[in-house]
Amino acid sequence: ITRILPHTQVVEKSSNVLAKMHAYVKVEDEGKTAIERERENMAHLRVTWTRFAKVLVSLVMVICVVWVALLAVGNVRRRRTEIGILRTLGFRSRQIIYIFLSRAIAIGLVGGILGFLAGGFLASSWTEPVGESNYQWFNVNLLVLAVFVALAITVAASWIPAILAARQDSAVALREE
């Protein structure tokens, strides 16, 4: 162009445009990789939290079984006189086991429902700050699962104390009082 128009000044813009275009493409690629890396990190974090939750839930279940078993043993010890009177009145071992397991089932049923409601309330209050406002905490399947697990824990933990209560000798139980 300077040969055709000798007194003009030529400013080359194409290399600046190409440089800007390459910079935009580079930033776009870096952004895509950063987003992908963040997705991978979130997936890894979710797996880690899931593992932690499984271990924690298992530990809590074991603690609950032990705790309920200790409470059931304490209940049997406190009610020795009643058990002795029931045995003297002619109650069979099966009937005494039924009495103690019925109480455990009632406690497990109430505990499962209350635990489900408390857990649903806590979950809904914790998910709103995270941004999951569409969380629906009342789920019939979760309710059934919570009640079933609570019943299983209370019956499993109360089974041996109920058998111990049924095997008590009425004379020994009444003699202690």
Give the type of residue at 36.
E
Range in 96-100, 101-105, 154-158, 167-171 with the lowest mean pLDDT: 167-171
* Rounded distance between C-alpha atoms, residue 61 and residue 115, angstroms: 13
Please write the tens of the pLDDT for every residue from 155-167.
999 999 999 888 8
Q: What are phi and psi of 79, to 5 degrees?
A: -105, 20
- DSSP sequence for 136-162: ----HHHHHHHHHHHHHHHHHHHHHHH
Q: What share of the chain has pLDDT > 70, as a percent?
A: 88
Token reading at 24: 């935009």
What is the Cα–Cα distance from 89 to 1, expressed in whole angstroms?
Answer: 121
Measured CA distances, 58 to 61, 62, 122 (Å): 5, 6, 20
| Cα 9 from Cα 17, distance rounded (Å) | 19
Q: Are 111 and 154 in contact (CB under 8 A)?
A: yes
The pLDDT, as a whole number, for residue 140 is 87
Please tell me the least confidently modeled range out of 1-10, 21-30, 56-65, 165-174: 1-10
Nearest to 155 by CA among 93, 92, 102, 99: 102
Average pLDDT over residues 88-102: 91
Q: Residue 3 gets which letter from DSSP?
A: T
Average pLDDT, rounded, for the chain = 86
Question: For 61-77, how does the pLDDT look when each residue is reduced to its tens digit (9 = 90+)?
Answer: 999 899 999 999 998 88
Tens-place pLDDT, residues 120-147:
888 777 766 555 556 566 788 888 999 9
